[in-house]
Every structure is written in C-alpha cells, then in structure tokens.
Amino acid sequence: MKLLTVSIIHHILGALLFLVLLNSCIIAHQLEHHAPSLSAKISKFLESETGPTVDPHRLEGTRWALLVAGSRGYENYRHQADVCHAFQILKKGGLREENVIVFMYDDIAFDVNNPRPGVIVNSPGGDNVYEGVPKDYTGRNSSIQNLFAVILGNKSALTGGSGKVLDSGPKDHIFIYYSDHGSPGTVAMPCDEYIYADDLINVLKKKNEANAYESMVFYLEACESGSMFDGLLPETLNIYASTAANATEDSYATYCPDDYPYTPPAYDVCLGDVYSVSWMEDSEKHDLRSETLEQQLQLVARRTAIESRDQGSHVMQYVLKSPERKDSIRRVEAQKQLTSEINSRMLVGNRMKQISSSLAGVKSGIAILHTVRPEGQPLVDDWRCLKTLVKTYEEHCGSLTRYGMKYMRAFANMCNAGIMVEQMNKAAAGMCNPV
C-alpha cells in the first residue's frame, strides 16, 4: 500500500471539485461530533512529540512506528524501497530511532542486479532512502512470530533480531505501515509465511486490551488489502486503518520501466507502489501540523485511483465510529457520485493510454500523451486531422467528456506524428468495440 508529494490538482476539475467540496462539508460535520481520529493531524503519528514542527505542549505521549516490508527478492524492490522511504520521513519528523522498528529482508541493496550497490531509491532521481535504516528484523528474523511479539511488546516471545518492541503506554500513539503482496484475507511475510486477517485483528485487540496506546494509524499496501479490515475491525479499538485497495481488487506499482516519468534504464524493476509513494510524497510536501488524516486520505485516494499505469485501485478507510444515519446517507451518496466520476476518468485515461500505445508503441505512446511543442509552434499542423481524430474516438468510445479534454494535446500529437484517421478508427474500435 506510490501514510506526501506530487501535485494532483490538475485532476480536480469542474464537477469533481463540486463533489469534493460537498464531501468535505459532510465530513467536517461528522468529524466535529463523531470521529475525532479523522481530524487528527498527521504530525501526531509521523513526527515526534518534540520533533521539528510539533508543539511539545500540545500533544502528550510517545510516538512509535512499525515499518514492515513483507517480501524478498530483487524483483520486489519496491516494497523495501517503500519502507526505507517511510523511515526517512519519520526520521525527518524527529522520531527517535529507538521508537522506530523496521522489518525487511534486506536483500536488495547489495543484490547483484542493483545498478547502484548500497543504494535504494523510491522514485526516478530520488534520494538514497536506504542510508541509516535500522536493521531490526532482517532475513529469517522478519517472521510473523517476531512481528506479533513486537506489536504486543512481548520481548520474551522474540526469536531473534534487535529486541526492539512497541513498548508503548496508554498515552502513546502508534503508526504501522506495511507494504507487500496480498490476497483475500491474507498478506505475506518474507519467509513465505501468511498473515491471516483474523490473526492480525486478534493481535490488535490484545494490544488494545493491554491499554498500550491512545490511538493507532495503520497504512496497508497490498492487493485486496481491504479484506484485512473489512467487517473485522471493531469500533472499540480506536484504530484508523487505510488500505491501498478494497477487498476484491489489486493495488498497483509505479515508477516502473516504460512508465512516465521514466525510470533510469539500468533499473528493470518498479521503484515504488502508487498508494505508498502517494502518502509519502504528500507527507513531504504538506505541513503535517495542519494536514489531517482525512485530508491526506482524499489526496492519496484520487492519485491512487487515477495515476497508476494500468488502472487504479480504491483506497479504503476503516475508522472508529459511525456517523449519524442522516449524515451517513448523505456521505454515501456523495461518495457514490465521487466514485462514479473517478471511474469515468480512469476509463478515459486508460483508453487513451492503450490507444496511444497501440498506435505508436509503448514508449512513443507515452511521449504522445505528454509531449508539449516548443513555444511559438501551434498545437497542431493539421486542424482538420485533430477534429477528425477526436470525432472518430467519440464514435467508438463515447463523449470525450470535460475531463477528457485534457487529452486534446495527445490527439494533436498523433496528427503531428502522421497518424491517419484509418489507424485511429481501427485502434478505437478495438479498444471500445471489441468483436
């Protein structure tokens, strides 16, 4: 689960902006009376109580963090890159290293396939996020038994590793972040073990029964990650959970070969995951003293839904309390409208990506979507071609929509590249009207 980042303001247009404002108004009313955890500032979890932006007189308790990369092998580069990046954000936020616990197999930084030995990056041209990361539970020590022992603060149950545990108290705040592969009701660990949803929930219940935290945030990056909490997380645990996908869909990698922006040619792996880099890049961009969990969720949800290379996933949230029924109905309706708009945009975006790749190949197709002519040159040399290609697309795929107008430059680039109406007719028909 690519808990901040690249601007996505260009995605918030017209009708969607209205829906977001409507949704925000409803959420604000709910937060005031029903779900204080959603109005919590992110600094409460990602920065220390005496960190660079936190007023030490405003918050009580110690901040703890548990970071887990559940895979191994160079082909899964992105999961350890996600976790290392998360550590750097926490470190910058002032969390003490003794309060940050890291699980990762630690086999990619010096893998023979890594073009930069000892360096891990989470984005093209990004900084080395591997530097200084604690090696608390690596190799065979990155096990489920040790993970559950760490969560429960049970040092006697550990079978190796640094010995660090979440030795938290009733006023403390805990942040847990997990990134790896998942399937219905399970997520993986590096040594071919599976964490089942009911086991995870039972451990969280025990942590709650021990009065070992005041609040907890859990960000989970994995396919079908919603199934780890959906219908399982009790309202009494005071846990805010966010997942990269719902209970039935994949989550997606990003910064992959052939993606835009391009990864360095030496890398033949994906450098991050959409949901994960979304929350982390957002955290790096915004003032965490003012941004709330709910605000971050909205930003991450939109980017995760729209910006993956194939299609998007639906970021989910699972929170402590349910709103009053009237507000709940209004919010559900607003969310339906928002989801419908996002799905419509995803459909247009995916169609344009596929059509561009079909007409010009993967790399040239990406260039068609993003190329901007130098100043002084017109958008297109043949305006009749532009109009005809748009008309042909709409004949097969329906209205381009207001949002789809953003791809007008792509149609112009197709004309400038010499793509003919017959080619567009074939590509659009194959995409939108397959036989």
Which are the catalytic amino acids? 181, 223
Structure tokens at 17: 């902006």
d(CA 431, CA 434) in angstroms, rounded, equals: 6
Contacts from 105-109 at CB under 8 Å and sequence distance 24+?
A: 105/69, 105/71, 105/72, 105/80, 105/138, 105/139, 105/142, 105/190, 106/80, 106/135, 106/138, 106/139, 107/72, 107/73, 107/74, 107/139, 108/73, 108/74, 108/76, 108/77, 108/80, 108/81, 109/80
What is Dmax (Cα atoms) for the chain? 75
The DSSP letter of residue 164 is: -
d(CA 217, CA 307) in angstroms, rounded, equals: 24
> Are the C-beta atoms of residues 80 and 190 closer than 8 Å to each other?
no
String of b and e for 365-387 (b: at least 16 CB within 10 Å)?
bbbbbeeeeeeeeeebeeeebbe
